[in-house]
Amino acid sequence: ETGVTQSPTHLIKTRGQQVTLRCSSQSGHNTVSWYQQALGQGPQFIFQYYREEENGRGNFPPRFSGLQFPNYSSELNVNALELDDSALYLCASSPSGLSANTGELFFGEGSRLTVL
Amino acid sequence: DAKTTQPNSMESNEEEPVHLPCNHSTISGTDYIHWYRQLPSQGPEYVIHGLTSNVNNRMASLAIAEDRKSSTLILHRATLRDAAVYYCILRDSQGNNDMRFGAGTRLTVKP
């Protein structure tokens, strides 16, 4: 069974550009959530997708958007990049949106975004 | 939202037990207590979780106070591979499926 995989692992963008990060969830998992982790801090919840619909969002502006596909893989899109968007972006999957609050999340290794 | 408080850092000697404390005085009845750890250059990794009773698994034990206002993650024999940041998180089983990470405890294991 493959775990959560994310791509790219590292990328560099400039202010104002747009970026798309990708995540393949663990086999059998239909819920995907995204987190932003700034250097030296804990991860911060961005949003969650369950069965291709967003069903939870943290305190992030609308320029952070996402998609989930029928195969449960997911994308995180960030428009109009700002310097403070530089961070590690983590994707996590879990087997069910209904019981996910009580169960385990499986994290990928993240995509490190640097905005210059 | 219920919050957790953890020491910024702790040290342990290899092969000795480690007790990592977490305070969550505003915990609600529907909050589960979760622990994750993050090794360098990796994503967070699930360790253990519980609601009211103490829990054991192959990685660790979780001791939950009777009033649920605090908990302790116990690593029975620390190894060098256990050096990581340990996060104590409350997850509301009735709310959004977001996990609110704090800054965690950075555990250093000395050989």
SS (H, E, C) chain A: CCCCEEECCEEEECCCCCEEEEEECCCCCCEEEEEEECCCCCCEEEEEEECCEEEEECCCCCCEEEEECCCCCEEEEECCCCHHHCEEEEEEEECCCCCHHHCCCEECCCEEEEEC
Q: Residue B48's closest CA among B25, B59, B40, B39?
A: B59
Query: Which pLDDT band, with edges at 50, 70 and 90, does A64 fall under?
Result: very high
Query: Which pLDDT band, with edges at 50, 70 and 90, does B99 fall under?
Result: confident
Residue B86 to residues A71, A109, B38, Cα–Cα distance (Å): 32, 16, 7
Query: Which pLDDT band, with edges at 50, 70 and 90, does A19 fall under?
Result: very high
Q: B46-80: per-residue pLDDT in tens? A: 999 999 999 999 999 999 999 999 999 999 999 99
Span of A77-81, A93-97, B7-11, B47-51 with lowest mean pLDDT: A93-97
Q: Do B98 and A43 touch (CB under 8 A)?
A: no
Q: Given this model, what pLDDT does residue A103 score?
A: 73
**Plot region of B39 (φ>0 → left; ψ -120 to 50 → alpha; else → beta):** beta
Q: Given this model, what pLDDT does residue A101 score?
A: 57
User: Average pLDDT, stretch B7-24?
Assistant: 97
Q: Given this model, what pLDDT does residue A99 score?
A: 53
pLDDT at A65 over 90: yes
B106 touches A at CB < 8 Å: no
Chain A CB contacts of B32 below 8 Å: 101-102
Q: Given this model, what pLDDT does residue B104 score?
A: 95
B41 touches A at CB < 8 Å: yes
**In chain A, which among 3-62 make CB contacts under 8 A with chain B?**
4, 31, 33, 35, 40-45, 48, 55-58
Q: Do A102 and B49 touch (CB under 8 A)?
A: yes
Q: Do B49 and A104 touch (CB under 8 A)?
A: yes
Query: Which pLDDT band, with edges at 50, 70 and 90, does A84 fall under?
Result: very high
Q: Do B44 and A43 touch (CB under 8 A)?
A: yes
Q: A92-116: per-residue pLDDT in tens? A: 998 765 554 567 889 999 999 999 9
Query: Which pLDDT band, with edges at 50, 70 and 90, does B100 fall under?
Result: confident
User: Average pLDDT, stretch A50-65?
Assistant: 92
Which of A16-20, A28-32, B49-53 ranks highest by mean pLDDT?
A: A16-20
Q: Given this model, what pLDDT does residue B96 score?
A: 62
pLDDT at A1 over 70: no
